[in-house]
Amino acid sequence: MKLLSVPRQPFVGLALMAAIGIIAAEILPLPSAAVIPTAIILALCIVGLACRPTLLATYAIVGAGFFLLHNFHTRSTQGQQLADELGTKPRVLTATGSVISEPKAAASGFATFLLKLKSIELEGRNQPTHAVWQVRWNGTPEFGDELKLFGTAEPIAPPRNPGEFDMRSYLARRDVHRMLFVRYPEDGTLIRHGGGNPILRAAQKSRTWMQNALCRGLEDAPEVQNFLSGIVLGLRHQTPEDIEEPFQQTGTLHLFAVAGLHVGIVAALLWMLATVAGLSRKSAAVLIIPMLLFYAAVTGLHISSIRAAVMASIMIGGFFFERKAFLFNSLAAAAFFLLCWNTNELFSTGFQLSFAVVGAIVLFADPIFVFLQRWVGVDPFLPRSLLRGPRRWLHPGYEWLCRGASVSLAAWAGSLPLVLWYFHLVTPISLLANLVVVPLAFFVLAIALLSLISAPILPWLAVIFNNANWALATLVIGIVHLFAQIPGGHFYIEQPHWPEKLAAKITVLDLGAGAAIHLRTGNAGWLFDCGSELSYQRVAREYLHWAGANRLSGLLLTHGDALHLGGTAQLLDDFPRVHLADNPSPDRSTIHRRLQRLFQQRRIKTDTLAAGESFRLSHNVTANVLFPPPGFSSLIADDQAYVIHLLIGSAASILFMSDSGIKTEQRLLASHLNLRSDIIVKGQHHSGQSGSEAFLDAARPRLIIATSRDFPVHERISDTWAENLHRRGVKLFRQDQAGAVILRFGHDSWEAESYLTGEIFRSTNQ
């Protein structure tokens, strides 16, 4: 009887079959020759279904329809066809098209945006096309501008390091397969303003006006401006990482994704205004629904905002048709319509997180609330008027707390599998953080909307509202930072993999001319260098999260090169208890001197190692310092870099050369040290000279991992040196071709794997 009483929710089954059809098409795509016959067969089935409709046949046809639709979306698209014609090499050309996304300006001055092409000019030939490209231009484009750009069209690079965001796959889902790099402002010409979709253009201009209105009077608080722009308008790209990361670590990053909370507040405020104006329910629904959809457009048409706007529109539309709308059916309807628009959305992180979280809240929040009420609630048959003493005024607070906790717990449980998979993060503190932060965020949004309403009429009142929001925003940021510092409040988990019984595992990250090497053995984890400030933010930190590194045993700084140690200050913020070993040799590096002053200010004691000393990473892994000797000094930082000889039991020996050159190699040879090593990991000396014949004779390596970049010239491995290694039978992993290299050491063997190509070299290889 209980099952029979469940209301009909047809979109649940339709959305489920749509997802099944899309996944089937992704796993087993149709051959090109079978697409048209399959479409004809499906059309005949639809005609038959119209004559004799049945539930199972309807679901089957919906699944088959989305199977076919996804094949159409992913096969022979405009972007893929043009990419195939251009080939895999960079091509210099002229492109004409319109800006279809809001340009995101970087500190370097380059703006990144999507350009819908009208034509390209290549080798004197004009070719019309409707493909979409990503563009980086050192100019100032606006949404809707029609541009003519001269630059280099390049394939979008894949990730080169574990944990790095896969921009190529992300853009490929949107049929974007090329990046056009336009170096100089004069290489771009504005043809006309005001192109593109007029509704989206109006939404973008409205967003700019809203942002200016919300930030009026807050010119001296850029942090609060960025926070308000993110939480009210969804402008996450303007939020600095040092603000955004604590929100991610406390599970409150959803505040920057305009979703149900934001749309719900907007809908409630609009409904209140409609009530004050004396409008009927039907009239209010007709006015509010377009406004909600426009708000979704203003905030960037992200999946979460579209989903929330569609759900709210269905719920409010129930007033117009005098029908009750069910939350889960409305959620499924939003998913169904979004997949009709673009089947690739099923594979986007935003789509999956948005629907998983809301679905979990709809399904589990009420049962959890009932369960929690049993512990703190009063007898449900006892009239509230009979409550006495503290229980009378504590009961509403208990009920609010149980409701908030149930929603928070349901949302956390719904998002946990996806957050683990995509971000490798567990945030138990989010259960408490959301209880505190979400109510404050509600007031921030409400005051922001009041500011927007009053800005055109009473600007002085809008400034008062903005300053009230300054206080609330500052409080929210402070609370989130406090929660992020609670021990055990968040932790990272390594991506799932088959268990490995290893003596040690070393990852040589690909940071261009810089370096960062992660050594894991037993319970110890060390970094040899950490890259530049930018590469630490974008690569090294993301890799450490991917690797599940919640602590580091030590950080060794090889020499005073900004590309090797520029990210140290940020690393110390992330891992404040790390043991630090610094190169004591004097140098002229301003960044190194700045770091040394920082060490003194924070009272961080650093070890200063010299040739002849050693330290243990674990019971079977020992690091011996071969260079520089005590008191050594050189005018060139590369000539005084640490040289570390790592012994991993009986499995292997590794020589870490950093950016050492010929002079260091000569000193090592003159000291008659045992340089015999299975593996050499090296950078490029600023002179371009390293890896001499005599040094290779002494080391006799089987594998060399070396950085290499085309610019500047001295950072590139010479073809002559590479050919010499080949003649010697030495395997070379050059990182411009291999990307990061992962070394795995067993008890009596080892292997090296290129992250970019998947090539594996084993110690058993001849």
Sign of the four-CA dihedral 273, 277, 280, 284: negative
pLDDT over 80 (residue 265) = no
pLDDT over 80 (residue 7) = no
pLDDT over 70 (residue 644) = yes
pLDDT-based confidence at residue 624 (cuts at 50, 70, 90): very high
User: Domain coordinates of the chain in residue numbers?
Assistant: 10-74, 78-195, 348-382+389-424, 494-762
pLDDT tens track for 590-609? 999 999 999 999 999 999 89
**What DSSP string describes 227-280?**
HHHHHHH--GGGS-HHHHHHHHHTT-GGGGS--HHHHHHHHHHHHHHHHHTT--
Rounded to whole angstroms, how far apart are CA atoms 757 and 30? 28
Q: Residue 387's pLDDT is what?
A: 53
First vs last Cα of the chain: how many Å apart?
Answer: 72
**What DSSP string describes 283-316?**
HHHHHHHHHHHHHHHHTT--HHHHHHHHHHHHHH
Select, from the ranges 224-238, 311-325, 347-361, 686-700, the one with the highest average predicted confidence (pLDDT). Answer: 686-700
**What DSSP string describes 689-735?**
--S-HHHHHHH--SEEEE---SSSGGGSPPHHHHHHHHHHT-EEEEH
Q: Residue 266's pLDDT is what?
A: 75
Q: Which residues contact 446 (CB under 8 A, 6 or more apart)?
A: 265, 269
Q: Which two tokens stand for residue 621?
A: 């892994």
pLDDT over 70 (residue 326) = no
Higher-confidence residue of 32 and 100: namely 100
Which of 194-208, 492-506, 520-534, 743-757 has the weakest average pLDDT? 194-208
**Which residues are registered as beta bridge partners of 556?**
528, 581
Q: Which two tokens stand for residue 107?
A: 């500190």
pLDDT-based confidence at residue 131 (cuts at 50, 70, 90): very high
What does pTM read for this prediction? Answer: 0.86
pLDDT over 80 (residue 485) = yes
Q: What are phi and psi of 357, to 5 degrees?
A: -65, -50
Please check whether residue 550 is in contact with residue 491, taking contact to mean a CB–CB distance below 8 angstroms.
yes
Higher-confidence residue of 718 and 359: namely 718
Residues 356-394: b if buried by 16+ CB within 10 A, e if exposed: bbbbbbbebbeebbeebbeeeebeeeeeeeeeeeeeeee
CATH topology of domain 78-195: OB fold (Dihydrolipoamide Acetyltransferase, E2P) (2.40.50)
Q: What is the number of other CB atoms lying within 10 angstroms of the CB of residue 322?
A: 8
Rounded to whole angstroms, how far apart are CA atoms 557 and 561? 9
Q: If you average pLDDT over every residue of the chain, what do you get?
A: 85
CATH topology of domain 494-762: Metallo-beta-lactamase; Chain A (3.60.15)
Of all residues in the chain, the percent with pLDDT exceeding 70 is: 91
pLDDT tens track for 66-107? 998 888 888 778 888 899 899 889 999 999 999 988 888 877
Please check whether residue 22 is in contact with residue 339, taking contact to mean a CB–CB distance below 8 angstroms.
yes
Q: What is the number of other CB atoms lying within 10 angstroms of the CB of residue 758?
A: 9
Q: State which H helix or E strand residue 682 sits in.
A: strand 679-682
pLDDT tens track for 379-422? 555 555 555 555 555 556 667 777 778 888 888 888 888 888 88
Does the N-terminal peptide bond of residue 628 adopt cis geometry, omega within 30 degrees of 0?
yes
Q: Residue 2's pLDDT is what?
A: 42
Q: Residue 554's pLDDT is what?
A: 94
Question: Can you tell me which residue has the tokens 């593996």?
Answer: 679
Rounded to whole angstroms, how far apart are CA atoms 629 and 610? 5
Q: Which two tokens stand for residue 272?
A: 């209140």
Query: How many CA atoms within 13 Å lie on the side-chain side of 678?
Result: 21
Q: Residue 3's pLDDT is what?
A: 40
pLDDT over 90 (residue 5) = no
Select, from the ranges 245-249, 494-498, 601-605, the one with the highest average predicted confidence (pLDDT). Answer: 601-605
Rounded to whole angstroms, how far apart are CA atoms 424 and 542? 10
pLDDT over 60 (residue 666) = yes
Q: Return the DSSP state at 538.
A: I
Rounded to whole angstroms, how far apart are CA atoms 310 and 358? 13
| Residue 126: strand, helix, or coil | strand
Q: What is the mean pLDDT of residues 477-497?
A: 87
pLDDT tens track for 438-472? 888 888 888 888 888 888 888 888 889 889 989 99
Q: What is the mean pLDDT of residues 498-506?
A: 86
**Which residues are registered as beta bridge partners of 176?**
132
Q: Write out the E strands in 481-633.
A: 491-492, 504-508, 517-521, 524-528, 554-557, 579-582, 606-607, 614-618, 621-627
Sign of the four-CA dihedral 615, 618, 620, 621: negative
pLDDT over 50 (residue 4) = no
Rounded to whole angstroms, how far apart are CA atoms 166 and 178? 14
Of 435, 364, 437, give the one whose Cα is nearest residue 401: 435
Q: What is the mean pLDDT of residues 203-226?
A: 83
Q: Which residues contact 619 (CB under 8 A, 6 or more apart)?
A: 522
Which of 70-84, 505-519, 540-554 has the weakest average pLDDT? 70-84
Q: Residue 396's pLDDT is what?
A: 60
